[in-house]
């Protein structure tokens, strides 16, 4: 049975996450793909509060949903659904959206990855081209450069998949 109250909560949390990402541009938080040259104290405060509330709420909601899901599904079916609902969108997102985000980062002279945030080499230098680099020049080359690939905003899907698989034995007991 579908719970509309949970659906409303999901919609509100999606809105909060969109707002968090927009606020990150103007917040004092330095680790973001695109930054305003003039940070805002108000944006920083809202960013910190909404980020903490929204992310923890998403994980709580995901845990509750997993327990409810396991009441009507076998562990094998649950795992298969997690692959289809989390890994497939993650891989698609890394290829399509991750490339766009990496292009914007590098175009702005930033590179965010496992190494943290650093100043990036000029985009033309990275791509070894002697002309301005457009997105459609960048996209196929980016797919061949594993260190430039990013899950970026989709980290939640990767962690949610790992946590749900690692904690599956515990979830079965709840």
Q: What is the pLDDT of residue 116?
A: 67
Q: What is the pLDDT of residue 6?
A: 93
Q: What is the pLDDT of residue 131?
A: 66
| DSSP string across 127-143 | HT-SSPPPHHHHHHHHT
Per-residue model confidence as pLDDT tens digits over 18-33: 999 999 999 998 878 7
For residue 134, the Cα-to-chain-centroid distance in whole angstroms is 24
Per-residue model confidence as pLDDT tens digits over 108-160: 777 777 666 777 766 656 666 666 778 888 888 888 877 777 888 899 999 99
Q: What is the pLDDT of residue 115?
A: 67
Per-residue model confidence as pLDDT tens digits over 32-91: 878 899 999 999 999 999 999 999 999 999 999 999 999 999 999 999 999 999 999 999
Q: What is the pLDDT of residue 134?
A: 80
Helix segments in 25-134, DSSP class H = 41-70, 75-82, 88-107, 123-127
pTM for this entry: 0.79
Q: What is the pLDDT of residue 1?
A: 74
The Cα 133–Cα 124 span in angstroms is: 6
Q: Is the pLDDT of residue 10 over 70?
A: yes
Q: What is the pLDDT of residue 125?
A: 65
Indicate the average pLDDT of the chain. 87
Q: What is the pLDDT of residue 50?
A: 96
């Amino acid at each position: 049975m579908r719970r509309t109250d949970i659906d409303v909560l999901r919609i509100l949390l999606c809105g909060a996450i969109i707002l968090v990402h927009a606020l990150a541009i103007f917040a004092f938080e330095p680790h973001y793909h695109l930054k305003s040259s003039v940070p805002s104290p108000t944006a920083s405060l809202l960013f910190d509060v909404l980020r903490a509330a929204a992310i923890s709420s998403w994980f709580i909601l995901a845990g509750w949903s997993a327990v409810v899901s396991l009441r009507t599904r076998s562990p094998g079916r649950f795992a298969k659904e997690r692959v289809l609902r989390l890994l497939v969108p993650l891989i698609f997102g890394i290829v399509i959206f991750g490339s766009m985000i990496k292009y914007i980062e590098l175009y702005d002279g930033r590179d965010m990855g496992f190494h943290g945030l650093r100043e990036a080499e000029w985009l033309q230098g990275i791509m070894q081209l002697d002309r301005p680099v457009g997105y459609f020049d960048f996209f196929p080359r980016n797919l061949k450069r594993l260190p430039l690939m990013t899950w970026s905003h989709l980290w939640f899907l990767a962690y949610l998949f790992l946590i749900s698989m690692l904690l599956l034995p515990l979830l079965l007991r709840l």
